[in-house]
């Protein structure tokens, strides 16, 4: 686990650039906002020690949630997840 957030009475986890939540609609909304933020801003800085926490804090005000818990990732998996998300999607 990397970042645990609470939205009202629901909780969600952001781990390696992917949201997980028991409420599928909320999970899809969180993931869509994260994808848009990464495309607009480029995502967390490449050298960020905790890219999931950086991303969660950056979109927190847009979705009005509270960060409950955050753990640093142990490997470069989280870093690599955001590198892949930065790639432009071409329509062909």
pLDDT along the chain (92 residues), means of 10: 90 93 96 92 86 93 91 73 72 75
Sheet holding 10-15, edge to edge: 18-21, 10-15, 3-7, 66-70
Q: What is the pLDDT of residue 1?
A: 61
Q: What is the pLDDT of residue 59?
A: 94
Q: What is the pLDDT of residue 48?
A: 83
Closest CA to 15 of 40, 49, 50: 50
Report the predicted TM-score, pTM, of the whole model to 2 decimal places.
0.83
53: enclosing H helix or E strand: helix 51-63
């Amino acid at each position: 686990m990397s970042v645990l957030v609470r939205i009202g009475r629901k909780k969600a986890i952001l781990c390696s650039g992917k949201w997980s939540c028991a409420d599928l609609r909320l999970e899809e909304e969180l993931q869509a906002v994260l994808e848009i933020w990464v495309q607009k801003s480029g995502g967390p800085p490449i050298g960020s020690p905790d890219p999931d926490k950086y991303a969660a804090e950056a979109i927190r005000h847009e979705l009005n949630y509270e960060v409950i818990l955050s753990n640093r990732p142990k490997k470069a998996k989280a870093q690599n997840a955001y590198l892949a998300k930065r790639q432009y999607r071409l329509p062909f």
